[in-house]
Copies of this chain bind each other. A is one copy, B any other.
Amino acid sequence: MEGFSFSTDVTVRFAETDAQGIAHHAAFVVWLEVARVAYLEKNAGGYQAIRDRGLEALTTEVQVCYHQAAYFDDRLTVWTRCTDVRGARFRYEYRITRDGELVAEGYTAHATVDRETYKPTRVPAWLAKALATAESRAS
C-alpha cells in the first residue's frame, strides 16, 4: 500500500466473532497492537526490548473506521506506519485490507513512560532513530 512499508497478517479467530456473524469491532483494536508489536520486532528489536530498557509505551488514543465487515477465518493484512515522534509521544497509522480491499483504517497515539514511575519520558534517541529509519524506507 502506498505510503506504508510494513504489514503483518492476522487471521480472524472464531473467538473474535460475535452474534452478528462478523469480527467484533474491539478485535480490530487488538490487531492494531499485534501489528505494532510486529512492526517494533522488525524495526526496533521488539517491544520487549523497549520494556527491558525501562520504558513502557502507553496507549493514549485509539480510533478505528470500519468500512467492511470481517468474517471468521478471513486473512487480513494490517498496514502499519509510525508517524510524528515528538518528545514523549508517537503515533501509528493503519490500513486493514483483505485481498487488497480496504476493510478498516485507524490510528493510535502513544506516550512513553518510565516503567517504574510511569512518568512521561522522551522517546529515546535509539528508538526515534530506528522508527525514522524504518519510515524512510516507505517513501
Contact = CB atoms under 8 A, between A and B. Distances in A.
A61 B72 contact: no
Nearest to A118: B69
A59 B14 contact: no
A25 B19 CA distance: 13
Given A13-B30, A47-B73, A73-B46, A62 B25 contact: yes
A80 to B, nearest CB: 15
Given A48-B72, A64-B62, A33 B37 contact: no
A85 interface: no
Size category of the binding interface on chain A: 35 or more
A13 B46 CA distance: 13
A30 B120 CA distance: 27
A20 to B, nearest CB: 6
Contact of A66 (B14, B25, B60, B66): B60
A15 B26 contact: yes
A24 interface: yes
The 9 closest A-B pairs by CB, nearest first: A17-B19, A26-B29, A63-B63, A25-B59, A15-B30, A19-B21, A17-B18, A61-B65, A62-B64
9 contacts: A13-B30, A17-B18, A25-B59, A46-B73, A48-B73, A59-B66, A60-B65, A63-B64, A69-B118
